[in-house]
């Protein structure tokens, strides 16, 4: 993340003066995908299994500058300890500097980020106003747009394009990791992550972070499902019975209901979880897919037991 992209957006791309319509081309620089992260690490001589690369992505968000700090011959726990919890670790103090360098009134942006970090699902604009303590209006809209343009927050369209039902979620993995773990433990030194990753808070964080990564990799998920050549629309959907974060509506009369589960071993579908899946599928079928086939898709780290 750097200062220049946001300045370009606010001062040049959306300029209303002499620079209006004078842009010849725009290039959006995005973080690495999981595949690109793996390739980048291999070039550095760092060969980790996909599970470990996913964990690193959960902390760094695929930002090349962060990944470039990793050293050959270290485990994932050692990487994270050095990068996030050692005295000279780059990510130990990056959070405050990052937002202060991007935004003039950074605390208001950070309050939105903090509110989203406490919610383990996407929330509507009205819910975000409530949780962040912000006031509805043009200023809040501008701050939210700036966070979206900068890649910190993502907006997910509600099925049927109901704008007031769109869901917002924190999509910057590093910010979530900092607020969940680094902020409270940055003075604990070496071995901190080896202890924290065994805690109960690891499970809730890893589940949400893995979902966020999956949402970012929707095009790759479509390719894996063999529907890359089919016209699709992806969206979120929820009602009083269920919340679906990734719904793929296909032009071949099929709707994919996607579930994402992070696990350190083969994932077991319990009886309770199976019942929840049946309820979600029935809710989708009854409300928005009455004339479509609903296929369940489970995305996980090691497959299903």
295 in the same domain as 152: no
Query: Which residues have C-beta within 8 Å of that of residue 168, sequence separation ≥ 6?
Result: 116, 122, 123, 124, 125, 128, 144, 153, 154, 155, 156
Q: Is residue 11 part of a domain?
A: no
What is the residue-averaged pLDDT of the chain? 89
276 in the same domain as 161: no
285 in the same domain as 209: no
Judging by beta carbons within 10 Å of its beta carbon (0-12, 13-18, 19+), is residue 216 exposed, middle or buried?
buried
Q: Is residue 16 part of a domain?
A: no
In this prediction, residue 26 has a pLDDT band, given cuts at 50, 70 and 90, of: low
Q: In the prediction, which pLDDT does 247 show?
A: 96
**23 neighbors 12 (Cβ within 8 angstroms):** yes
pLDDT, tens digit, 9 for 90 and up, residues 92-140: 999 989 999 888 889 999 999 999 999 988 899 999 999 999 888 999 9
Look at residues 216, 242, 260 and tell me which one is the last residue of a structural domain.
Answer: 216
Q: Is residue 295 part of a domain?
A: yes
3-class SS shares of the chain: helix, strand, coil, % to 5: 50, 15, 35
189 in the same domain as 51: yes
The parent domain of residue 187 ranges over 33-216
Q: DSSP letters of 27-89? A: -------HHHHHHHHHHTT----HHHHHHHHHHHTT-HHHHTT--TT--HHHHHIIIIISTT-
54 in the same domain as 176: yes
**111 neighbors 132 (Cβ within 8 angstroms):** yes
Judging by beta carbons within 10 Å of its beta carbon (0-12, 13-18, 19+), is residue 111 exposed, middle or buried?
middle
231 in the same domain as 82: no
Give the closest residue to 237 by CA, choosing from 291, 289, 290, 299.
289
**Residue 105 has which token pair?**
């009134």
206 in the same domain as 88: yes
pLDDT, tens digit, 9 for 90 and up, residues 219-251: 999 999 999 999 999 999 998 889 999 999 999
244 in the same domain as 162: no
pTM equals: 0.88
Query: Tell me, what CATH number does 154's domain have?
Result: 1.10.10.10
Q: How, if at all, do strands 232-238 and 153-156 pair?
A: unpaired
Least confident piece of the model among 93-107, 264-278, 289-303 = 93-107
pLDDT surpasses 50 at 3: no
266 in the same domain as 118: no
251 in the same domain as 203: no
Q: Is residue 277 part of a domain?
A: yes
Instruction: State the helix-helix crossing angle for 138-149 and 125-132, rounded to 10 degrees.
Output: 100
Q: Is residue 287 part of a domain?
A: yes
Q: Is residue 26 part of a domain?
A: no
Cα distance between residue 34 and residue 199, in whole Å: 25
Q: Tell me which DSSP letter residue 163 carries.
A: G
Which residue carries 């780290």 as its tokens?
301
Look at residues 216, 247, 265 and tell me which one is the last residue of a structural domain.
Answer: 216
Give the closest residue to 154 by CA, choosing from 31, 293, 17, 57.
31
Q: Is residue 22 part of a domain?
A: no
Q: In the prediction, which pLDDT does 296 show?
A: 96
Look at residues 180, 198, 216 and tell me which one is the last residue of a structural domain.
Answer: 216
Q: In the prediction, which pLDDT does 105 show?
A: 85
**211 neighbors 200 (Cβ within 8 angstroms):** no
For residue 88, give Cα distances in angstroms to 81, 92, 93, 142.
Answer: 11, 8, 9, 35
**How many domains would you assign to the chain?**
2
290 in the same domain as 164: no
Cα distance between residue 242 and residue 280, in whole Å: 6
277 in the same domain as 162: no
Q: In the prediction, which pLDDT does 2 show?
A: 43
Q: In the prediction, which pLDDT does 16 show?
A: 52
Q: Tell me which DSSP letter residue 90 carries.
A: G
């Amino acid at each position: 993340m750097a200062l220049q992209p946001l300045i370009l957006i606010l001062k040049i791309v959306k300029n209303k003066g002499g620079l209006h319509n004078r842009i010849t081309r725009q290039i959006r620089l995005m973080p690495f995908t999981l595949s690109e992260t793996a390739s980048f690490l291999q070039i550095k001589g760092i060969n980790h299994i996909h599970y470990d690369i996913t964990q690193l992505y959960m902390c760094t968000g695929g930002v090349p500058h962060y990944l470039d700090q990793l050293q050959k011959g270290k485990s994932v726990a050692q990487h994270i300890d050095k990068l996030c919890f050692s005295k000279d670790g780059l990510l130990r103090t990056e959070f405050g500097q990052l937002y202060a360098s991007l935004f003039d009134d950074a605390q208001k942006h950070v309050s939105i980020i903090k509110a989203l970090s406490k919610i383990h699902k996407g929330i509507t604009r009205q819910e975000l106003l409530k949780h962040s303590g912000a006031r509805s209006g043009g200023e809040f809209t501008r701050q939210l747009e700036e966070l979206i343009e900068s890649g910190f927050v993502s907006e997910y369209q509600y099925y049927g394009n109901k704008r007031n039902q769109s869901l917002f979620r924190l999509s910057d993995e590093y910010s979530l990791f900092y607020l969940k773990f680094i902020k409270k433990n940055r003075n604990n030194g070496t071995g901190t992550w080896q202890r924290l990753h065994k805690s109960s808070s690891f499970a809730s964080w890893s589940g949400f972070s893995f979902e966020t990564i999956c949402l970012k990799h929707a095009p790759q998920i479509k390719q894996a499902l063999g529907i890359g050549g089919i016209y699709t629309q992806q969206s979120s959907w929820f009602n009083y019975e269920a919340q679906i974060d990734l719904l793929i509506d296909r032009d071949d009369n099929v709707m994919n209901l996607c579930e994402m589960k992070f696990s350190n071993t083969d994932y077991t579908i319990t009886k309770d979880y199976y019942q929840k899946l049946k309820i979600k599928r029935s809710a989708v079928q009854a409300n928005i897919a009455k004339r479509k086939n609903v296929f369940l898709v489970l995305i996980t780290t090691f497959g299903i037991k």
